[in-house]
Amino acid sequence: MCARFGLELTGEQLALYFALPGPVPEMDPRPDVRPTTQVAVVLDEGEGRRLELQRWWLVPSWWRKDPKELPSLFNARAEGIAEKPSFRSAFKSRRCLIPASGFFEWAKTPAGKQKFAIRRADRQPLAFAGLWEEWRPAEAEPLRSCTIITTTPNRVMEPIHSRMPVILGEAEWAPWLEAGTASELLLSLLQPCPDHWIEATPVSSAQRLLTWDD
């Protein structure tokens, strides 16, 4: 599961990191990103990578009711993702990267829940594997939305939670974003990241920032 993360970078910084050639939307650093809010998404619709803002809670293109009636689609389990009705179309042709400075998770302990901040060990941004959709209601503007794909935990996350977001390395960005990548290759990318990529730091329940002095 991934229900809270932070993105403490500007659009210009993301453009540099992901080598985005075009203009980027204006956006301020956000230490506490929650489902249904707008998040930065890197996608490629055939004309090169670009950055846009989307709603974090997927609304499938075929949905005909109020989005408030949807189940929790801010995460998509990697297992069976190519066959699940809510995700199979997006998995085939609408994949994206969702940047983050890090994410938060809570572990159950005898003393109660302990909050952890998870970041890359080298402090570079994370790139979550995501899916996006465009929903076109009859009497409203089209809505673009996204979901973060989760997988089983690596050894860093295992003591904290049974799920973690899929974190892709730079060499995996292109095959994930590009059209025509074989399904077998895409599915092979949906694995826990190497243990040494990330570290988990216990923080107070009020801690929101991911950029503090070590």
For residue 111, what pLDDT is reported? 86
- 213 belongs to a structural domain: no
- 212 belongs to a structural domain: no
**Which amino acid is located at 169 in the chain?**
G
- 185 belongs to a structural domain: yes
- 123 belongs to a structural domain: yes
Catalytic position from the list 2, 96, 146, 193:
2
Residue 99: which domain range?
5-104+111-203
Q: Say if residues 25 and 51 touch (Cβ distance below 8 Å).
A: yes
Q: Supply the DSSP string of 107-171, one letter for each residue.
A: EEETTEEEEEEEEETT-PPEEEEEEEEEE--TTS--EEEEEEEEE---TTTTTT-S-EE-B--HH
- 211 belongs to a structural domain: no
Angstrom distance (rounded) from CA 210 to CA 201: 10
Which of residues 23 and 185 earns the better pLDDT score? Answer: 185
Q: Which residues contact 24 (CB under 8 A, 6 or more apart)?
A: 11, 12, 14, 15, 50, 51
**Which amino acid is located at 74 in the chain?**
F
The first and second tokens of residue 66, run together, are 């109020």
Q: What is the value of pTM for the model shown?
A: 0.94
pLDDT bin (cut points 50, 70, 90) of residue 211 is low
For residue 181, what pLDDT is reported? 96
Catalytic position from the list 12, 69, 83, 105:
105
Number of domains the chain is built from: 1
Angstrom distance (rounded) from CA 206 to CA 168: 29
- 209 belongs to a structural domain: no
Cα angle: 104, vertex 110, 113; to 5 degrees:
20
Q: What is the mean pLDDT of the chain?
A: 92
Q: Say if residues 103 and 2 touch (Cβ distance below 8 Å).
A: yes
Mean pLDDT computed over 136-158: 93
Give the three-class secondary structure for 8.
Answer: coil
For 61-78, b where at least 16 C-beta lie within 10 A, e where not — what string?
eebeeebeebeebbbbeb
The domain that holds 149 is classified in CATH as 3.90.1680.10
For residue 68, what pLDDT is reported? 76
Q: For a pLDDT cut of 70, what percent of the chain falls above it?
A: 97
- 210 belongs to a structural domain: no
- 94 belongs to a structural domain: yes
- Is 2 among the residues known to form the active site? yes
Mean pLDDT computed over 171-189: 97
